[in-house]
Amino acid sequence: MNRNYNYVLAPKVFCGCSHSRAVIEGDHYVCPSQDGVKKIRRGVLDPIILECAIEFLTLENIAKIAKIVSQEYAKEKQGRLSLASFEARLQTCMREKEKLMARIEDGNVSESELARALELKKEEIQLQALIEQEKKESIVLSESMVMDRLKEVQENVRTDPKYAWSLIDLLIDSITLYEDSALIRFNTGETQKVNTFD
């Protein structure tokens, strides 16, 4: 595997004896506890984990992951104020400011109204920036888009390291090392036990 990508896996590796994150010493994953499991070479563990991730990426799991990702994305978007609400507030702000500007032109305005006109101008600028940002971020992430991307990863994972590490980053939540095995926990909740004889 290309060493430029190996730190994607490192934060996901834990020791089964202490549940502490394993550390990298040279070319090994090592438990930070003195009572820890034997150290395991990265050259042994990394390909095992990658192969498990590749095997996990079946058409059934691609569909499952795509559904989870698109639902989470939709939830995140619902939690934010919408573009429509920013635009509605901007229109209200501009109408109020126009009324105050007419009063200012007539010379019939108080100091508090002048201060309010300045506040409205600042809010208008902020809202315009928020609207532009929201427009940039308003990409729809559908299940079919996620499925297409996962299929692309599946097709290229064995020939391009960036796809391999993208797959591990997407699928693997954690790897817990034991004396001669590892327990892989996928982000979908499933687990898989594998032998890690070095």
Q: Does the pLDDT at position 16 exceed 80?
A: yes
**Confidence check: pLDDT of 81 > 70:** no
> Lowest-pLDDT range, 6-10, 39-43, 105-109, 166-170?
6-10
Q: Is 184 helix (H, G, I), strand (E, B) or coil?
A: strand
Tokens at residue 94, please? 């501009």
The pLDDT of residue 25: 84
Cα gap 72→64, rounded to integer Å = 12
Question: Can you tell me the distance from the alpha carbon of 110 to that of 22, in angstroms, rounded to the nearest whole number?
Answer: 67
